[in-house]
Structure 1
């Protein structure tokens, strides 16, 4: 029964990102800070989820020195192939009790490719990935590759194969916010 409520929290995180999937490539009119609520029915803990997106902007000064900064994506924003986007997922436990075993599934938005090893989770969360549309998750996805001589080898999955990221947080203390970030690159 507890698994069902945890899966429900993951579904809320997934639903919070569904608008990203329907976007026309290159135009992001919904990439803004928003919020959603999830509730752990068994403990009555309330989690507020907020997903934010930023674009990496590289500037060059007159001396040729490059600088990088993250610019929030708000309103109608144009993204181009090669642009790097960073997503930040904040999960705030608004209750007076800890929430245990929180699982959040985040789809990689269509038209983008996951930047390998870019996930950063505060609070010692476990990170797993899916390459099959979110049906299964593993720490190190692999694919079978047929070599020119006909032999089949198992190799690490390429970044383009990643479809989802799963964050499993053991516990969020009462009145605490945890934060996770990951990056994608526009195709």
Structure 2
């Protein structure tokens, strides 16, 4: 597991604290997900900190946001890009209570809740026509979670699944 500590100003806009006094710690992890047979039943097996990926491997990308301060943090925004060479597949686990999930198809510049829409231009009867179409999850490039409230000393683990191209 990798630990990444970000300044609070990145996670909580509008709240200024002394530099280096971040009450938010982010732990990043990656696990290989495999389907194995246990007692004749298909079961999911996870191999943590898996680094030798091959095309087709299914991985869980997770981030644990931990409040190390003595007070509740509000509207904590945590962004995680879809790694290069991978395709977003699905959320990892169920939606966490008190967390809003949004997705980006422009490298993390803008985010919106699913399903995302985009405009495309097609030719119909010799004329260019603009249509709005739903974006497939495989086109997602980043995920942002906004945690409404993260009480002192607590943590939330969030994540998604990707497949190696």
Calculate the TM-score normalised by the size of structure 1.
0.71
The reply on whether 1:145 has 2:123 as its aligned counterpart is: no
| Residues 107, 164 of structure 1: 8 Å contact kept | yes
**Structure 1 position 154 matched with structure 2 position 154:** no
Instruction: Find the counterpart in structure 2 of residue 52 from structure 1.
Output: 29
Structure 1 residue matching 2:2: 3-state secondary structure? coil
Q: Which whole-Å deviations, capped at 9, do the CAs of 1:3-49 have from their partners, x for residues lacking one?
A: xxxxxxxxxxxxxxxxxxxxxxxxxxxxxx01122343636661111
Q: TM-score, normalised by structure 2?
A: 0.79
Larger relative strand fraction: 2
In the alignment, the residues of structure 1 paired with residue 93 and residue 143 of structure 2 have an alpha-carbon distance, to the nearest angstrom, of: 9
What is the correspondence of 1:1-187 to structure 2 with a 5 Å cutoff?
Answer: 33-40=1-8, 42=16, 46-60=23-37, 65-74=41-50, 77-118=51-92, 120-140=94-114, 141-147=116-122, 149=124, 150-187=128-165
Deviations 1:104-145 (A, max 9, x none): 111100011111454645342111111011111111321223
The runs of 5 or more residues in structure 2 that have no matched partner are 9-14
CA drift at 1:61: 6.5
Mapped to 2, the partners of 1:87 and 1:117 lie a distance apart of 9
- Aligned-pair CA distance for 1:181: 1.8
SS of structure 2 residue aligned to 1:135 = coil
What is the root-mean-square deviation in Å for CA atoms of aligned residues?
2.4
